[in-house]
Structure 1
């Protein structure tokens, strides 16, 4: 019986609502399944046939340690999504790569570590927006994601002065449509679209709000596939979050290929698809 480890972390920043569902689904499909914390010094990876990155949600503030663990782990066991893809997806400058490849994305500017307020002002002027968002280039959930309203440029400058030397950041306009319509989170399993939820955007300190019943739109699937095509390799699982611009056209807000919430609690019928995708990935590597 194959043994599959779902990778989590020792101190969860928030509960993983899919955790038990995923474990049960893999067991029902005929494999052993258990949790393993990537940052547990006593972990034994040798017993696993496959690792599936799931709720390893503390890597943004342990980035180098996570990268080192990934290097060690891939020499011992198969990992999905593939480590090459994970490394590419870790830093959200991939959005700029998608942008340059012709994928419609939320306009994104990279604020490099050590940026001064003058360069910040130039980047903000280039975006030409009144409300904007600043988030770490390596982040998960709402960690250190800040929304700045009209007239808060001075507050944003203070933020950059205080935190700009710590890490790279992304600067994006706040997309008005999310206030009413939210973001559409399109979940893919085994390379195929599975289901969609509508969720509210999250900023630091906020809880996630999810509504079921989202239906995939053809234009979302088109740009979602374009985004997937830019990734190195074929994702076993993934999520494309989209929003609408002022004309109503879709934009990619995120391409989540490391540890996205898959909303299996809201769509329990997808649990078998998740398990099947994991087992097929294991068989293909066997």
Structure 2
């Protein structure tokens, strides 16, 4: 079993787009190879314990996280600065300090759950039929969430530039509510459920606008995706990564470029639009995928 360069580039680009679009990267990474069939279905299986595909996905996760870091680098400079200044001063006063601790607290539940259950979920549910079913369910969640969401409760705040103003609004989200929003990422351990999608729905349910919910979703996803990749980097230099380093580089470059373009597009898209088109797509793709792979 190995990974070819065409497989690496296609799956890398797919990962970069679907990790940030609310359509589930893991669900697509399972379904697309299964639908193509043949060597793709054999080489690109996340449920096979010794598949090099697992090591390959590590590189894609790191590349996606780096794209997010690059796009939001000014925000992360302020947030990380706020985190260390709050430790130094032993208090949380500024919006950057509050947002930093909000992200930390919101990341803890999915971090613990991922360490304990990721392997089980992947091996038991990381197959085409469950992935198609969860992708369909993801679409239903997006549509229902849009229908019952609370209208934006945090009013716009002028001054300091658009990004700074959004971060100020996000910093006013309570720690309890922020943790609940971040905990929604746990559902993304299920193949077919989108991390950004369920986090945005949770944010909309707590009164965030689409713009603020999307931004908070991307900020929350960055440390989780990066940590998931870094923790498994040793796999790339072990038996699983043997002979595929070139393919990992090619796929990672594709993932990085597509992820950067995706987050740039989505931050503008959600200024005026909703999750409804993505919900309809997931229902259609999940239903078609279920028919093709069942």
TM-score (normalizing by structure 1): 0.25
Answer 1 or 2: which has greater helix percent.
2
TM-score (normalizing by structure 2): 0.25
Q: Which has the higher contact order (CA 8 A, sep 6+)?
A: 2
